[in-house]
Amino acid sequence: MRTQVAIVGAGPAGLLLSHLLDRSGIESVIVETRERDYVEARIRAGILEQSTTDLLREAGLGDRMGREGEEHRGIYLQVPHERHHVDFVDLVGRRVTVYGQTELTKDLGRARAAAGQEIRYGVRGTAVHDLDTDRPYVTFTGPDGATERLDADVVVGCDGSFGPCRAAIPAAAKQTWQRTYPYAWLGILADVAPSTDELIYAWHPDGFAMHSMRSPTVSRLYLQVPTDTDLAEWPDDRIWDALATRLGHGQDGWTLTPGPITDKSVLPMRSFVQQPMRHGRLFLAGDAAHIVPPTGAKGLNLAVADVALLAPALTALLKDRNPALADAYSDTALRRVWRCTHFSWWMTTMLHQSGDPFDQQLQLSQLRWLATSRAGQAGLAENYAGLPIGL
């Protein structure tokens, strides 16, 4: 098999890249280890920055998002007995949209299927080869057990942190940075109307809590828990009790309405960056190159920002034989990656209990400053609502 761009991974980054390339007349084939149903059902992020929604609309992917996504002006930041609204629209003129990654992945999958995109789901043993030449290729075993070879001009790794692409860059040619945080999130999805109009991020001595949502009838909530948490020790009542305490049920007349929990999981929290995001004819995008902790909802948006740079860069490289944008891709993308890595680290360390009383005082001071300073809020808003693509 031969194509122009071989894409490893059919998550949002890989699907969006194939869509944008197709619109500029570049052909691609996607290989994915999971089955389509799994990819479209996994529960992930839920907040899209304005730069993300603008790009999706321009790419003709905004119809259902426009109908079902919910636009938010800002977020609530909370310490016990005080809840403050940070209004992004007032502060920086930008808003965010609540639309689950699950829904976006389905929209992308449908758009690609309608365009006749070749996507090979359920493959095994994916490996990338000859990246230092201009004839790289990908090998994999199809669901029928036959080994296949996909030749391309360029290979793009959109295969997340455990895929083969990141690892294929030789150790001598790369640098990595990592931070693991000494806590995790217990996340739930519940069939109940959200108890808030916009997201609540709550600092609490028992640990961080957050109230998010997926739709007018589905709530998504999180609790800070120890990294070794066993879900068996968290029956539904215990989860709702902890959420009620940390989110301030009963304060100023606010109530948290519990409901049936449909999904429960423990999410690790870490920061990771690998650079460069290109090696020869291999380019990395999204989680394959960087991981952020979920506080601040940057992961999906960052993947979209990578792809927004990469699609025109590959188009110029393959159509016009102009390598300038492709050569600049890694440096340009990494500027935003490090900004978001810092922002996610800052939100995370400001809101979670670390066990250190000195940290607690710094956190409370920082949150007091955010509650009272327009300059502080504007900094948060600028980062949260999304910097322009190509920052």
Question: Interface with ligand PHB by CB under 6 A: which residues?
Answer: 45-47, 199, 212, 220, 294-297
Q: Give the residue with the Cβ less far from ligand PHB, 55 or 297.
A: 297
**DSSP code at position 321:** -
Reply yes or no on whether 201 is catalytic: yes
- Catalytic choice (164, 298, 329, 352): 298
Instruction: Tell me the closest approach of the beta carbon of residue 42 to ligand PHB, in angstroms.
Output: 12
Please indicate whether residue 384 is annotated as part of the active site: yes
Ramachandran class of 93: left when φ > 0, alpha when ψ lies in -120 to 50, beta otherwise? left
Instruction: Kindly name the residue from 201, 222, 279, 352 that is annotated as catalytic.
Output: 201
Question: Which amino acid would we find at residue 241?
Answer: D
Strands 74-79 and 200-202: parallel
Query: Least distance to ligand PHB from the beta carbon of 22, Å?
Result: 29
Report the relative pairing of strands 5-8 and 28-31 from DSSP bridges.
parallel
Least distance (Å) from ligand PHB to the CB of residue 166? Answer: 23
CB of 201 to ligand PHB, least distance (A): 7
The answer to whether 247 and 202 are in contact (CB under 8 A) is: yes
d(CA 18, CA 106): 14
260 among known catalytic residues: no
Catalytic-residue membership of 72: yes
Question: Rounded to the nearest 10 degrees, how much is the dihedral formed by the CA atoms of 241, 243, 245, 248?
Answer: -140
Instruction: Using the minimum distance from each CB to ligand PHB, give the nearer residue, 117 or 301.
Output: 301
CA atoms of 88 and 48, how far apart (whole Å)? 14
Please tell me the distance from the alpha carbon of residue 353 to that of residue 224, in angstroms, as a whole number. Answer: 8
How far, CA to CA in Å, does 78 sit from each of 6, 165, 368?
A: 46, 40, 10
The active-site residue out of 12, 19, 72, 258 is 72
CB 169 → ligand PHB: shortest distance, Å? 29
Which residue numbers are catalytic?
72, 201, 294, 298, 384
